[in-house]
Amino acid sequence: MSGILVIGEVQDGAIAPVSGELVAAALKLVGEGVIGGVSLAVMGDDLSAITAADAPGADRLILMSHPSLRDGGTGGFDAPVLAVAALYESISPDVILFAKTDFGAVAGPRLAFRLGVGMAQDCIDLALDTGTGRVAVTRPVFGGNALAVYGFNGDGTQIATVRPGAFDGMEGEGTGAIEHFDVGAAVAGVRTTLIDTVLQASEGVRLEDAEIIISGGRGLGGPEPFKQLHELANLLGGAVGASRAACDAGWVDHSYQIGLTGKSVRPSVYLSVGISGASQHMAGLSGARNIVAINKDGDANIFKAARFGVVGDWAKVLPAFTATVRDLAG
C-alpha cells in the first residue's frame, strides 16, 4: 500500500481543526498496518501563512495554491476535484480521506466518480481488515439506530468521508516536509467560477468547536425561548444548537441543527432543553462527554443517554438555573 492522502480544509487562512481529526484517523490506520505515510493536502488562493508546523502528525504537507481554489476550494467543487484528481495521479494513494463537511460531502463523491473507485460516506470509525488488507469503515444506519461495518470491493483506491468529531484532533507542531503542487494545468478546464461568497453573520463560538452547547427542541414551543438559551450560552461561553424539529418549524436557522442530517458535535457538556432525543438527533451527539437533559416527559429517550436529567417544565427550571450561573459568575 502506498499511503493515505488527507484532504484538509482551510479556515480563515489557516488549516481547519477538522483536518487534524482526519490526520488522526489516518494515523490509526497506519498503526494497524497500512503501509505508507500520511500526506495532508490543503488548497486555497493564498496559503502563504501555512507552515509544516501547522500539520502535526502528517509526514508531509502539500499546498495547492491557485486563484480558482479561493476559500479553500469550498466556493465551488469543480476546481478542487480537478486539483485533487491531479494530485492523485501524481502520488497514487491507496486511501483518500475527506471530512463530512459541506465541502467534503460533495467533493468526495465527485472525486470517487471521476476516478471510478469506491466511496464510503459519513464514517465514524476506520480500521484495517487484516483478512483483506483493505479498509473497513463503520457508519450509522437505520437513521442512527444501529452501526454497520463495510468494506471496499476490488483493489482500487478507497475514499471515505469522516464525520467531524469522530476522532480527537492532532495536537502539537508538525515536523513533516512541506511541498507545493502545481495545479495550474489541472484546473485550466474548470467550468465554474466563484463570483461571490455570502457569509452568514454569527457571534460567539462555532457550534462545531464549542465545549458547551445549549440546545433546544420542539418542547420549547416557539422561537422566543431561544433567547433564553442564547443568554445561558453567553454566560457559559458556549454555543446554541437545535433539533431538526425546531429548525424545520422556522424557529432558528438550519445552521443550528444537530443530528444525522445536521452537524455532529462533541462538547464536554451538552444541555438539551425540550428535546425528546430521537435517534436522528442523538446520532450527532455520539462524541458528547456529558449530556444534561431538561424535559417534562420522564420517559423521553434523551434520558437514556443523559448523565444528569431534570424532569420538569423547562420554563421553570431553565430561568432558575440561568440565575444561579449568573450569580456564580459573579
- pLDDT tens figures, 249-288: 999 999 999 988 888 888 999 999 999 999 889 988 878 9
More confident residue, 329 or 311: 311
Kindly report the CA angle at 13 between 7 and 16, in degrees rounded to 5?
A: 45
Query: Both 140 and 244 in a single domain?
Result: no
CB distance 149 to 286 below 8 Å: no
Q: Band of the pLDDT at 145, cuts 50, 70, 90?
A: confident
Kindly report the CA angle at 8 between 169 and 181, in degrees rounded to 5?
A: 140
Instruction: Give pTM, 2 decimals.
Output: 0.83
Over the stretch 156-204, which tens digit does the pLDDT of each residue have?
Answer: 999 999 998 889 899 999 999 999 999 999 988 788 776 777 776 666 7
Domain contains 170: yes
Domain contains 113: yes
pLDDT of residue 206: 83
pLDDT of residue 1: 44
Instruction: From 162, 189, 216, give the residue that closes a domain.
Output: 189
For the chain, the maximum distance between any two Cα atoms, rounded to a whole number of angstroms, is 63
Domain contains 85: yes
pLDDT of residue 248: 95
What is residue 257's DSSP assignment? B
pLDDT of residue 20: 95
Over the stretch 216-230, which tens digit does the pLDDT of each residue have?
Answer: 999 999 999 999 999
Domain contains 202: no
CB distance 20 to 53 below 8 Å: no
pLDDT of residue 154: 85
Any bridge partners for residue 271, and if so which?
214, 292
Residue 229's domain comprises: 207-329
Q: CB 317: neighbour CB atoms within 10 A?
A: 16
Q: How far apart are CA 205 and CA 183, in angstroms?
A: 34
For residue 249, the domain's CATH number is 3.40.50.1220
Total of domains in the chain: 2
pLDDT of residue 73: 60
The grid coordinates of residue 247 equal 429548525
Question: In the chain, pLDDT over 90 holds for what percent of residues?
Answer: 73
Count Cβ atoms within 10 A of the Cβ of residue 202 and give its class: 0-12 exposed, 13-18 middle, 19 or more buried: exposed
Looking at 108-257, which runs of residues are DSSP E strands?
A: 118-123, 125-129, 134-141, 146-151, 158-162, 177-180, 212-216, 239-242
Quick check: helix, strand or coil at residue 317? helix
pLDDT of residue 13: 86
What average pLDDT is seen over the chain?
Answer: 91
Query: Both 185 and 212 in a single domain?
Result: no
150: left (phi > 0), else alpha (psi -120 to 50), else beta? Answer: beta
Any bridge partners for residue 60, and if so which?
39, 177
Query: Both 118 and 34 in a single domain?
Result: yes
More confident residue, 193 or 290: 290
Over the stretch 87-144, which tens digit does the pLDDT of each residue have?
Answer: 999 999 999 999 998 899 999 999 999 999 999 999 999 999 988 989 999 998 887 7
Instruction: From 189, 224, 246, give the residue that closes a domain.
Output: 189
Helix (H) or strand (E) holding 149: strand 146-151
pLDDT of residue 165: 84
Whether residue 247 has pLDDT greater than 50: yes
Least confident of 23-32, 57-66, 177-186, 255-264: 255-264
pLDDT of residue 142: 82
Domain contains 196: no
β-pairing, 269-273 vs 125-129, is unpaired
At residue 299, what is the residue type? D
DSSP for 2-31, please give it: --EEEE--EETTEE-HHHHHHHHHHHHHHH
Query: Both 178 and 241 in a single domain?
Result: no
